[in-house]
Structure 1
Amino acid sequence: MVSSPPVRHAVVVEDDADIRGLLVLVLEQLDFVVTEAPDGLSGVEAVRNTNAELVTLDVNLPDIDGMEVCRRLREFSDAYILMLTARADEIDRLNGLDIGADDYINKPFSPKELQARIRALFRRARTPAAPAEDSRQTDELERAAVVQKSLLPRETVRLEGYDVAGAFRPTRSVGGDFYDWYQTRDGMHLTFADAMGKGMGAALIAATVRAVMRSVADTPAIDTAFASASATITSDLDQSGSFATMFHARLDASSGKLSYIDAGHGLALYIPAEGAAQRLVSAGPPVGILDGQHWPAAELLLEPGDTLVIVSDGVLDAHASLEDFIRNVEKAARSEETSDDVCAALLELAPVETAEDDVTAVVVRRKPDVQH
């Protein structure tokens, strides 16, 4: 008889209903049973009643502030406490006060980063041995892996003056990671996405995302195309109770202009030939979180020698901090001669023996001008 994994409880203490809903979705994807609390006092009681192992705690609450909630929790609970703040001055206070919190993250936050922080917290504790898998579960993972691999592009991008490569390394726990690209008359279109969840459900959602994004390829404006696609995708996500983070870009090869939309992904880096790497920030939440959401497009210019790197949260999870992640990704991009080699180096940042999630990378490099 196969034993069930232990149930983990989490409490979300947040007065903003939209943010609270997003936090609940993120935690449920990590297999927590989640209790919501709109203020500090009810949050303390929720932790007491559920014996929660994780608490996400907003600093600004309508009754008592998050720091006081943290102090009260530490009187009876050893739960991991992850504090959320929207103001820089509060970050200084959190750094300077020994209030018993385990970590903090500032708003607006990336769901990827939040999940990575939570995984890092729970790696500090001893975890029980994984239960044996039954044959039905194994069969589903195998079928999901086939679907997931089928989503990867079969064609190689051959753009004069560019070097484009992608790499994907699955784990045994199949998720919804995928990337897709195809050449156009002017350059290329690229989509990088992660449908939250595991197994066949996530793989099928990823397949839907890929198909829908390809269906809007002929829509001239990227923001119009993305709005149309996201509306279609959201209906499928609503039925599954899931959401998808996405990075979608269109490259005009002759000019180097890259138009892009980041919907909750937050793991794309622009690495210029000269100067520091820049993390491309999200334009809004993941697709499927809010009805009627609009994601504005942004642009950057890929000059000769510049590189765009997009990775999955499997790479972020392997790092202790966002700063370490950015530094090591930039180092990998600058140390290798080809995009294929950069992808290989990026996968090595998340060693296969310790990686808890799929590891995916895409690199778009504009080749330096040849000096005669």
Structure 2
Amino acid sequence: MVPPRSRLTAVLLAFGVLVVVAAGLSLLDLFLPRPFDGVVLESDSPGAVWVRSVVPGSGAAEAGLRPGDRIAGIDRILLRSTAHADEILAARRAGEVVPYLVARDGTLQEVSVRLGYRAFIDFSYLFACLLGFGFFAIGKFVLRRQPGLRSAQVFFILTVLFLAFLVCRLRPASYTWMDSFALGLGMIALLLLPASFLHFFLIFPEPVPLRPLPGAPDFRRRRRLWTGALLAIYLLPLAVLAGTVLRARLTETPLALLSGAPKANWWLLAIYLAAGLAALAWNIRRLTDPRLRSGGFLVLLGAIFGLAPFLVAAVAFPPALHADPYRFFVLAALALVPLTFAVAIVRYQLLDIRVILRKSLFYTFLTLVLSAFYGFALAAFNALAQSSEVARTSYFPLQFALVVVLLLEPLRRWSLRWVNRFVYPERPRLEREIAEMELALGARVDLPAVVRELVERLPRVLDLRFAGLYLLRDGALHREAGPVLLPELLPFHPELHRHLAAKGRPLRCAELGGREGESVKGAGSACQLLASAGVELIGDLTSPRRQLGLVVFAASEQLSIEEADLALLGRLLRQAALALETSLLLEERARQAELERELEIASTVQAGLLPERLRLPRGWAVAAACRPARHVGGDFYAELPGPRQAESAVVYGDVAGKGVPGALVMMAAHEALQTLALSHRDPGVLFDLANQRLYRSGSRRGFVAVGYLAPGAHGEVDYLVAGQPPLLWRRGGGEVEELPLGEHRLPLGALLDGGYRASHAAIAPGELLLGYSDGALDALSPEGEPFGFARLAAALANAPAEPEAAVAHLLSAIAAHSGGAEPYDDITLVVLAREPEA
């Protein structure tokens, strides 16, 4: 179904086409090769054949006809009407001499008129035609850009009536039927013009409060009142005309027309125009947008100074509308109406229309016009100077050339500055706002502020439909801001970023999708994805240190962005890239600081899980240390109930993983061992149950290597190693050896069935046992060499007999090997010592 506004627009366009065709036929009729006597008839005297003027050099001028004569007969036949005269002349040929019966000063006389062809149309009428068609072109342009805007529709009607009046009503009248048709059409246009002016100014630039808006209270009743008022406005001029004609017939007096309309209609025209101008002035006062106020004020001035001379000339001096040079001056003033509308549309975007004139073409045209004018002026000056004494000197050509050089270029530059200031006022504003945005971006250190400047403020500055921001994260471009119709993700192509950065300005998708983008990897696919969302421009965000993302723009339908605008935009994007990088660095630093705080808290919590002191049976001493590779780690040690009553055991573990993930698995293993040991003291059973729980928990990648030491009161030690390195045993003589490992020693959680069994060893007084995680063996030197088993055994051999001191000695040896660097993996040490007998 076609929307009502679309149907109305189609009807208006059809109406405009019909009037244009009628005006064109009226103008074409003047050039048809038919016999012409040179008489221009009085159009304000219907039914009579009065002479308004005579074309110089025509047969009527040679026969002595003059304005004010009445042609009573042609070819000795009394005339009944102008159509009767046309029939008589149509039977004659150009070059024949025809007798005319002319009434002049109360007498009749016969004169001979030689017929010819129409070979002259006065310049003022051609100017009127050009003015009418020009105004119509503006109206058609406005309706095409804003077909659904009511003020644009009424403005189009106004321009169509303007065309009909200027072309049809002001045409030089003759005898043909086309004259009657064209003059009648021009008269109807003249009657409706004031109503259309008043209607337009009631809704432009914004509707007066009398016009109800959809959703307003009592909308239907107010809409009926508004429609009735408009109907009355349009019908009143026709009613006044009908009343005047009826009165003339009843009183049997001739219908007196004044410049194409009765005098009463001219008074109504004056009232309508005054009311329309008052409504326009009041509407302008209500506007808050300075741009719209300036445009409306310009239109108001054009209407006042364009329509006032026309109205005064038509009423007070009717001949001024029909005789040169007065008619030309009246029409020149009337030209202010379409001219001010055109300037207001171009400069102030009136009726929500933005027109960007190509500067290069406009400057070229202006230079050609100035050159032609300057050449004409110089030719005239040269012709006048030829007879002077100066022209006879040998220095005259040089002086003349200097005048040309010194005057033409300053004149051209002054004209271009005036054009920049008047026709292109957006350029200084755009440069100023871009500079303000650059300063604002330089002062911004937070990402939301940068996003606001690019995605929210920039479209308003450039009159864009929207902008979107993509930032590079995790190897892809993620949409950070912009409408939802933009793709969420874009593939990252470094070649595209380098190409955009090398250009130094945003590029059009048409350029990247064409030959220029064929050699740039990713340009075609990116443009295809973005073009479907209406994106037309792609700009790069690259700092001197890294590629950050893309900014995409969708221009409005009326927008044509110049190369100078793109250069300004490229400069702004470079500043935005620096601000964006700063904000991202600060955000990353803040996030890192927050993470460090959280890790410190987690490290404190994890350290709280480690027992402050381990309690073993009498005759045993123990010490343990845990050094995570990061803030939190996956190693731990704990005290568990031993296999015998009133005895304790030491368990230590190493999760496959570091950092927060390893710490989470460590806590799960720690909780499982603590809980299960309360009811299952046997180490084999304890490990089997803990293995099954960890395996079924789903943490298959986070299996746990565990070591278990349970010393007895008489020197025996039950031990079990599941995934940990072998225990080191330092004997009384200082030699170090490994304790034998059990048959099943897989880490807990690796397989469902572990089959763990504890082993046993007898430790003599003064001997040491060392349990350790693989982080002690994997500690790297600055050259990349691991600490290894041999160094660990040598350090244990030279360690003190007291467990605390032995742990400190071993950690010092590992740190010395690593050069003080952070450990590569978590390090856990447990030293168990049999105290010497007293």
Between 1 and 2, higher relative CO (CA 8 Å, sep ≥ 6) is seen in: 1
Match of 1:175 among 620, 633, 638: 633
CA gap of 1:244–1:158, structure 2 versus 1, over 3 A, is closer
Counterpart of 1:263 in structure 2 is: 722
Match of 2:683 among 222, 240, 252: 222
For residue 247 of structure 1, report the CA deviation from its aligned partner: 0.5
For residue 279 of structure 1, report the CA deviation from its aligned partner: 2.1
Counterpart of 2:788 in structure 1 is: 321
How many residues were matched structurally? 240
Counterpart of 1:80 in structure 2 is: none
In terms of mean alpha carbon deviation, does 338-347 or 280-289 score higher? 280-289
For residue 321 of structure 1, report the CA deviation from its aligned partner: 3.4
Say whether 1:366 aligns with 2:830.
Answer: no
Amino acid in the other structure paired with 1:340: E
Q: Is the 8 A contact 1:161 1:366 kept in 2?
A: yes
Counterpart of 1:125 in structure 2 is: none
1:211-360 counterparts in 2 under 5 A?
211-217=671-677, 218-236=679-697, 238-239=698-699, 241-252=701-712, 254-274=713-733, 276-280=735-739, 281=741, 283-318=744-779, 319-332=786-799, 336-351=800-815, 352-360=820-828
Amino acid in the other structure paired with 2:676: V
1:151-190 counterparts in 2 under 5 A?
151-157=609-615, 159-172=617-630, 174-182=632-640, 185-190=645-650
Q: Which runs of 5+ in 1 are unaligned?
A: 6-130
- SS state at 1:201 partner: helix
Match of 2:607 among 149, 157, 160: 149
For residue 165 of structure 1, report the CA deviation from its aligned partner: 1.2
Distance across 2 between alignment mates of 1:225 and 1:158:
19
In our comparison, the structure showing a higher alpha carbon Rg is 2
For residue 150 of structure 1, report the CA deviation from its aligned partner: 2.1
CA gap of 1:330–1:216, structure 2 versus 1, over 3 A, is farther
Distance across 2 between alignment mates of 1:251 and 1:322:
25
Counterpart of 2:424 in structure 1 is: none
Amino acid in the other structure paired with 2:724: H
For residue 168 of structure 1, report the CA deviation from its aligned partner: 2.4
Amino acid in the other structure paired with 1:169: R
For residue 347 of structure 1, report the CA deviation from its aligned partner: 1.1
CA gap of 1:355–1:198, structure 2 versus 1, over 3 A, is closer
Distance across 1 between alignment mates of 2:669 and 2:789:
27
Amino acid in the other structure paired with 1:227: D
For residue 178 of structure 1, report the CA deviation from its aligned partner: 0.6
Distance across 1 between alignment mates of 2:705 and 2:688:
14
Larger fraction in strand: 1
Q: Is the 8 A contact 2:690 2:748 kept in 1?
A: no
Q: Once the two structures are superposed, what CA deviation does each residue of 1:81-136 show, in whole Å capped at 9, x if it has no partner? A: xxxxxxxxxxxxxxxxxxxxxxxxxxxxxxxxxxxxxxxxxxxxxxxxxx988346
Counterpart of 1:43 in structure 2 is: none
Distance across 2 between alignment mates of 1:240 and 1:291:
10
- SS state at 1:178 partner: strand
For residue 171 of structure 1, report the CA deviation from its aligned partner: 3.4
Q: Is the 8 A contact 2:722 2:745 kept in 1?
A: yes
1:61-80 counterparts in 2 under 5 A?
none
CA gap of 1:4–1:331, structure 2 versus 1, over 3 A, is farther
CA gap of 1:292–1:159, structure 2 versus 1, over 3 A, is closer
Distance across 2 between alignment mates of 1:260 and 1:158:
14
- SS state at 2:814 partner: coil
Distance across 2 between alignment mates of 1:300 and 1:2:
60
TM-score by length of 1: 0.57
What value does the CA root-mean-square deviation take over the aligned residues?
2.9
Q: Is the 8 A contact 1:144 1:199 kept in 2?
A: no
Counterpart of 2:319 in structure 1 is: none
Amino acid in the other structure paired with 1:331: N
Counterpart of 1:90 in structure 2 is: none
Amino acid in the other structure paired with 1:199: G
Distance across 2 between alignment mates of 1:3 and 1:273:
60
Q: Is the 8 A contact 2:703 2:750 kept in 1?
A: yes
Q: Once the two structures are superposed, what CA deviation does each residue of 1:152-171 show, in whole Å capped at 9, x if it has no partner? A: 11344254222211122333
- SS state at 1:230 partner: helix
Say whether 1:197 aligns with 2:197.
Answer: no
CA gap of 1:172–1:270, structure 2 versus 1, over 3 A, is same
Counterpart of 1:83 in structure 2 is: none
CA gap of 1:222–1:239, structure 2 versus 1, over 3 A, is closer
For residue 293 of structure 1, report the CA deviation from its aligned partner: 2.0
TM-score by length of 2: 0.27
- SS state at 2:705 partner: strand
For residue 142 of structure 1, report the CA deviation from its aligned partner: 2.8
For residue 291 of structure 1, report the CA deviation from its aligned partner: 2.2
1:126-141 counterparts in 2 under 5 A?
134-135=592-593, 137-141=595-599
- SS state at 2:809 partner: helix
Q: Is the 8 A contact 1:183 1:189 kept in 2?
A: yes
For residue 268 of structure 1, report the CA deviation from its aligned partner: 2.3
Q: Which runs of 5+ in 2 are unaligned?
A: 1-470, 476-587, 780-785
For residue 225 of structure 1, report the CA deviation from its aligned partner: 1.9
Larger fraction in helix: 2
In terms of mean alpha carbon deviation, does 292-301 or 141-150 score higher? 141-150
Amino acid in the other structure paired with 1:369: E
Distance across 2 between alignment mates of 1:148 and 1:267:
26
CA gap of 1:239–1:210, structure 2 versus 1, over 3 A, is closer
Q: Is the 8 A contact 2:624 2:829 kept in 1?
A: yes
CA gap of 1:267–1:139, structure 2 versus 1, over 3 A, is farther
Q: Which runs of 4+ in 1 moved over 6 A?
A: 1-5
CA gap of 1:201–1:320, structure 2 versus 1, over 3 A, is closer
Q: Is the 8 A contact 1:147 1:207 kept in 2?
A: no
Distance across 2 between alignment mates of 1:316 and 1:148:
23
